Copies of this chain bind each other. A is one copy, B any other.
Amino acid sequence: MLEKSHKHVTCENCLSRENSLFGSFCGEKVDNLDSQKSCSYFKKNQPLFIEGSSPRGVYCINDGKVKIFARGEEGKEQIIHLAAAGEVVGFRAMFSGEPYKVSATTLEESNICFIGKSDFLNLVDSNATLRNGIMKELSKELADRATFITNMAQKSVRERLAFSLVMLQDIYKEEMINLSREDMANFVGTATETLIRLLKDFKEEKFIATHARRVEILDREGLLRVAGN
Q: How many residues of A contact B (CB 8 A)?
A: 44
Are A154 and B228 touching (Cβ within 8 A)?
no
Are A147 and B70 touching (Cβ within 8 A)?
yes
Which of B93, B152, B154, B228 has a CB less than 8 Å from the CB of A139? B93
Are B150 and A148 touching (Cβ within 8 A)?
no
Cα A73 to Cα B224 in complex, Å, equals 13
Are A142 and B143 touching (Cβ within 8 A)?
no
Q: Does chain B have a CB within 8 A of A200?
A: no
Which of B94, B95, B140, B189 has a CB less than 8 Å from the CB of A152? B189
Which of A76, A95, A147: most chain B Cβ within 10 A?
Answer: A95
Q: Does chain B have a CB within 8 A of A14?
A: no
14 A-B pairs with CB atoms under 8 Å apart are: A70-B147, A72-B153, A74-B154, A76-B154, A80-B149, A80-B150, A96-B140, A98-B140, A101-B147, A102-B143, A131-B131, A145-B148, A148-B149, A154-B189
Q: Which residues of B contact A134 (CB under 8 A)?
A: 135
Q: Chain A contact residues: over half helix, strand or loop, or mixed? A: helix
Q: Does chain B have a CB within 8 A of A27?
A: no
Are A155 and B78 touching (Cβ within 8 A)?
no
Q: Does chain B have a CB within 8 A of A206?
A: no
Cα A147 to Cα B96 in complex, Å, equals 15
